[in-house]
Amino acid sequence: MKKIGIIGGGAMGSGIAQVFAQYGHPVVLYDTNKEALDRSKQNLAKTFEKLVAKEKYTAEKAQEIQNNIEYADSLSAFASIDLMIEAIIENLDIKKSVFKQVEEIVSDECILASNTSSLSIASIASACSKPERVIGIHFFNPAPLMALVEIIPAVQTREGLADEVKALIQSVGKLPVITKDTPGFIVNRVARPFYSESIRLLEEGVADAETIDFAMTSVGGFRMGPFELMDFIGHDVNYRVTESVFESFFYDPRFKPSFSQKRLFEAGFYGRKSGRGFYNYAEGVEKKAPSQDQALLEKIYKRVLVMLINEAADALFLNIANREDLDTAMTKGVNYPKGLLKWADEYGLENVQNDLDELYNYYHEDRYRLSPIIRNFVKENKTFY
């Protein structure tokens, strides 16, 4: 069993600790804030009480798992760990500083990983004297429930380390996918049009939020509509990720944020957590009934879908990840009803090409440019599967 050191006693760090502890790994959970550690311990105890009540574990087994976790307020507790996973604030300078500190304490063989959702692993690794042992291991929230884990080798990461980490992640019941160290990795990159194109439809007055959400759930089969989902995630999180991906892609118009969401973010209307976002969550306020116009619902669904397909296809074209990992990431990371490349084959690549060319010809905006792989496949009569 590998000894795992986790930095950050928040929801993500605690969740990752639970994952490894459940599979018998000794875990050291470190945080500078003792209150955060105490809260993490209490929350974990409550979680296991519920799991015992549901008969997922016996009381003895639940206690044994909790005993696998040591709570530490000093980094010296990391002296004997085999793998460090950092799960703290998404701030590059702070992460680099932490990696530098940890490297002075752990052994030369210890793997150093970041749970960042969008920051450059190469940049984090550059702070280390042995950057070849640095890698990204991105769990999704809540870590104990979400199957997907993105594994991100940096340009400095030694050959073979990604496969070693993949085997370890599989051994704790997760579904790992390997992705290039590019902004947003797979999920946060490919999912952007689900939000941005839906907001564009709203801003253009094509339909209201209720109707766009209804189109994506009723016609598209998505579990939540884009506006419900953004309000659920929180605009303090979702907008910042969009902004970060846009900047990191050298301001590629495909990832351009919207003023509508920026204004909600600036106003502190973060969604459910603040009581107001695209929807008003105050008591007694009801959502408007969505339009039942089937032609309108189809139009909305198709426009958002082809944008998503195009993003997934472009990620394949640029070798960000392989076909299977791209589709797994979207079904297991954000619960899409189908992998987007399989969906592309079903929808018809020629239809995707025609829809996007029509949008591009209408708007003359680079956000609607078709990925070359789709044009090539149509020409050669090929499919993704």
**Whole-structure pTM over 0.75, yes or no?**
yes
DSSP for 257-299?
--HHHHHHHHHT--BGGGTBSSSB-STT--PPPPP--HHHHHH
Q: Do residues 31 and 7 lie in contact, with contact meaning Cβ atoms separated by under 8 Å?
A: yes
CATH of the structural domain 189-379, one choice from 3.30.70.240, 1.10.1040.50, 1.10.760.10, 3.60.70.12: 1.10.1040.50
Q: Do residues 125 and 152 lie in contact, with contact meaning Cβ atoms separated by under 8 Å?
A: no
Indicate if the pLDDT at residue 161 is higher than 90: yes
Query: How many CB atoms neighbour CB 349 within 10 A?
Result: 22
188 is catalytic: yes
CA 377 and chain centroid, separation = 29
Which residue among the candidates 86, 103, 150, 311 is catalytic per the annotation? 150
Which residue among the candidates 117, 198, 238, 371 is catalytic per the annotation? 117
Q: Do residues 126 and 96 lie in contact, with contact meaning Cβ atoms separated by under 8 Å?
A: yes
Q: What is the mean pLDDT of residues 242-257?
A: 94
Q: What's the pLDDT score for residue 131?
A: 98
Which residue among the candidates 40, 118, 188, 371 is catalytic per the annotation? 188
Burial-class residue 266 by CB neighbours within 10 Å (0-12, 13-18, 19+).
Answer: exposed
Q: What's the pLDDT score for residue 1?
A: 87
At 283-341, the pLDDT tens digits run 999 999 999 999 999 999 999 999 999 999 999 999 999 999 999 999 999 999 999 99
Q: How far is CA 82 from CA 6, 69, 78, in A?
A: 11, 15, 9
138 is catalytic: yes
120 is catalytic: no
Q: How confident is the model at residue 118 (pLDDT cuts 50, 70, 90)?
A: confident
Q: How confident is the model at residue 18 (pLDDT cuts 50, 70, 90)?
A: very high
**Strand partners for 148:** 175
Which residue among the candidates 118, 138, 196, 311 is catalytic per the annotation? 138
Q: What's the pLDDT score for residue 269?
A: 98
What CATH architecture does domain 4-178 belong to?
3-Layer(aba) Sandwich (3.40)
* Annotated domain spans of the chain: 4-178, 189-379
Q: What is the mean pLDDT of residues 232-249?
A: 93
Cα dihedral 145, 22, 40, 3 sign: negative
Strand order through the sheet with 175-178: 69-72, 27-30, 4-7, 83-86, 111-114, 134-139, 148-153, 175-178
